[in-house]
Amino acid sequence: MNNLQISKIFRKCYYGLIKRNFRYISSPFRLLPNFIIIGAVRSGTTSLYYDICEHSCVLPADYDEIGFFDSNYELGINWYKSMFPTKIESKKIELKTGICITGEDTPFYFWDTDASKRIKNEIPKIKLIILLRNPIDRAYSNYNLGKRSGNESLSFEDAIKKEIELLKKNNDFESDKIEKFRRNRSYIAKGLYHNQIRKWLALFSKDQILILNTEDLEENPHQALKKVFGFLGLPNEEIKNIQHRKVANYEKMNVETRQFLSNLFKPYNEKLFRLLEKEFDWD
């Protein structure tokens, strides 16, 4: 046994038996998720997840953005199951309401080819929710997150200029190469949605995927959640505590920059709309 194998075994034991403890030991008696919100980053996925968890028929995971199918897959399926409720907990809700489900959200799965294949292999009947935000606003939100966390020192204009140069140099505008989504600056790349969605449509049937846009969720959350609940097979409920998580205030984008990005994203948005056979009202 080599050092790498020993390291993997140690990590699995540490994060399972020590960190997850009883929940890991009891994982054979726990559920796998019925749904996963897979993206997109900075589009309101956390708020949507906790909105869904407000439903009386839904039991939440221990926390959001578990990241099993991308970053933590080597920890094993029992580690993943340790994040979810027990079958007994589910049965109690089911006896009251007639149905009980659980799920998670990890928006980083969206661009990850390995993650999509692993989900297909482990939970082939899963229901997937994709939340898409106007890519201009998504990019600016992602940039401002970088500024707040100290990972970005350039102006927004200089940052996107640098990224565009790199995307052109590597012919990445039309590719779904995972490397471009993992760069420190991937503000533009993460908004090229059609490249990311294609891999999911190739693996899962259309009735397993619900695609919403952030703007509809913000403007009419109850109507959007009604679609979500119907998709998940849940009775409709009026959610009173609508979530607004990971929301931040920052300066308004420069008008000329917004127009530049509108022109940049337009042909890629049109590809997305043709793929989905529906359009979103994005400027």
Q: Give CA–CA dist 18/75, Å, rounded.
A: 13
For 9, the 3-state DSSP assignment is helix
- pLDDT score, position 199: 93
Per-residue DSSP letter, 16: I
Domains along the sequence of the chain with CATH: 29-276 (3.40.50.300)
As a whole number, the mean pLDDT across the chain is: 94
pLDDT at position 247 over 90:
no
- pLDDT score, position 176: 86
pLDDT at position 18 over 90:
no
Q: Give CA–CA dist 31/92, Å, rounded.
A: 14
pLDDT at position 69 over 90:
yes
pLDDT digits (tens, 9 = 90+) for 127-155: 999 999 999 999 999 999 999 999 999 99
- pLDDT score, position 283: 78
- pLDDT score, position 3: 64
What is the band of 113 on the pLDDT scale with cuts at 50, 70, 90? very high
pLDDT at position 51 over 90:
yes
- pLDDT score, position 11: 83
pLDDT digits (tens, 9 = 90+) for 202-239: 999 999 999 999 999 999 999 999 999 999 999 999 99
Q: Looking at beta carbons, which pairs linking 172-181 to residues 24 or more positions away fall under 8 Å?
A: 173/268, 176/111, 176/113, 178/111, 178/112, 178/113, 178/114, 181/111, 181/112
**164 backbone dihedrals φ, ψ, rounded to 5°:** -60, -40
What is the band of 6 on the pLDDT scale with cuts at 50, 70, 90? low
Q: How many CB atoms neighbour CB 97 within 10 A?
A: 14
pTM listed for this prediction: 0.95
